[in-house]
């Protein structure tokens, strides 16, 4: 049983990181498509920073604060 666990552990670990990477790419795709943000500028950010950027954008959209939203997105636009 432990041999089976040793064989499957790397595969499960790789699957976890693959799913995490795909979620990060989906966030980048959403920001590029919705707000016209440049991919090259987002490449410099980590997945954690992209997640905080998207949550900040969503929060400003809920508050209907267009000026703050524009100020937040402007440095990342193409």
Tens digit of pLDDT per residue, the chain (78 long)?
788 888 889 999 999 999 999 999 999 999 999 999 999 999 999 999 999 999 999 999 999 999 999 999 999 997
Task: Read off the tokens for 72.
Answer: 């937040």
- Can you tell me the distance from the alpha carbon of 57 to that of 40, in angstroms, rounded to the nearest whole number? 19
pLDDT at 53: 96
Query: Quick check: 20 and 47 in contact, CB under 8 A?
Result: yes
pLDDT at 3: 84
- Can you tell me the distance from the alpha carbon of 65 to that of 38, in angstroms, rounded to the nearest whole number? 22
pLDDT at 78: 75
């Amino acid at each position: 049983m432990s041999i089976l666990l040793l064989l499957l552990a790397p595969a499960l670990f790789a699957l976890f990181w693959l799913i995490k990477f795909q979620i990060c790419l989906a966030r980048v795709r959403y920001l590029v498509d919705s707000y016209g943000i440049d991919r090259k500028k987002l490449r410099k950010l980590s997945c954690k920073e992209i997640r905080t950027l998207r949550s900040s954008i969503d929060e400003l959209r809920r508050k209907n604060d267009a000026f703050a939203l524009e100020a937040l997105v402007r440095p990342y636009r193409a």
